[in-house]
């Protein structure tokens, strides 16, 4: 896939990061992602990310698992090859529930892991570009995608002005397979809370 140009700004504190995210978005720049050392509550709202559809996918995988297990077991044990187990009816639903449940969980879990990898554009043995290694340690790294109109040097100055301790311009792969997940962003809800 095509290489893209990114402007990276590193922030030391959440309290600086949040206003910076707001300023960057108000100025009309497109945030590619923000890499943080730990999950930051409320950052998804601030960045205007839409709610993930991972759980809907999980529900569909789970339902598929339930249907597969139920139809498979009932076809085998009640129709294709009925056996007598301790005088129980051939359609012995209570005895199957644990297996159906386990299969539901298995399908949902495996399916969601694979979907998650797809959504995050990750795969085994795939080397991903790190915008800044300290994102795994103590820095909040904001990555902004450059469009044709973006002046990268201006943007660097803008980020430094917003409180970034370090800025850089990098080129990287935006995504590596079938489409990306960067749909248009909108503010789900204003999270500013007045605390006395």
Q: What is the DSSP string of 108-132?
A: HHHHHHHHHHHHTT--TTPPPPPS-
| Count of residues touching other proteins (by CB under 8 A) | 16
Residue 3 makes contact with other proteins by CB under 8 A: no
Contacting range for other proteins; rule: CB under 8 A; set: 87-95, 107-115, 151-159, 177-185: 87-95
Here the tokens at position 98 are 């644990």
Q: Residue 173 forms beta bridges with which residues? A: 3
According to CB under 8 A, which one of 28, 86, 124, 179 is a site residue for other proteins?
A: 86
Between the alpha carbon of residue 187 and those of residues 50, 106, 115, the distances in Å are: 8, 35, 25
According to CB under 8 A, which one of 2, 83, 133, 193 is a site residue for other proteins?
A: 193
- Shortest distance in whole angstroms from residue 92 CB to other proteins: 9
Residue 187 makes contact with other proteins by CB under 8 A: no
Residue 51 makes contact with other proteins by CB under 8 A: yes
Neighbours of 48 (CB within 10 A): 16
CA angle, 32 as apex, 29 and 33 as ends, to 5°? 120
Per DSSP, 134 falls in state G
Contacting range for other proteins; rule: CB under 8 A; set: 74-82, 93-101, 143-151, 172-180: 93-101
H/E stretch holding 140 reads strand 140-145
Residue 28 makes contact with other proteins by CB under 8 A: no
Q: Please give the residue ranges that form the binding site for other proteins (CB under 8 A).
A: 41-42, 51, 55, 59, 86-88, 94-95, 97-98, 191, 193, 195-196
């Amino acid at each position: 896939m095509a290489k893209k140009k990114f402007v990276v700004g590193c922030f030391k504190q959440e309290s600086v990061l949040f206003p910076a995210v707001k300023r960057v978005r108000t100025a009309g720049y497109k945030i590619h992602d923000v890499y943080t050392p730990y999950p930051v509550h409320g950052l998804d709202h601030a960045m205007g990310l839409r709610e993930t559809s991972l759980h809907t996918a999980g529900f569909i995988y789970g339902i598929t698992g339930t249907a597969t297990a139920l139809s498979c077991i009932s076809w085998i044990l009640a129709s294709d090859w009925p056996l007598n187990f301790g005088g129980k009816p051939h359609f012995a639903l209570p005895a199957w529930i644990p297996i159906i449940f386990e299969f539901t969980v298995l399908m949902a879990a495996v399916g969601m892991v694979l979907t998650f990898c797809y959504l995050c554009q990750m795969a085994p043995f795939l080397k991903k570009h790190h915008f800044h290694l300290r994102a795994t340690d103590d820095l909040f790294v904001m990555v902004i995608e450059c469009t044709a109109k973006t002046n990268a040097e201006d943007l660097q100055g803008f980020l430094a002005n917003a409180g970034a301790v370090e800025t850089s311009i990098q080129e990287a792969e935006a995504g590596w397979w079938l489409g990306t997940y960067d749909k248009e962003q909108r503010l789900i809800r204003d999270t500013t809370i007045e605390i006395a």
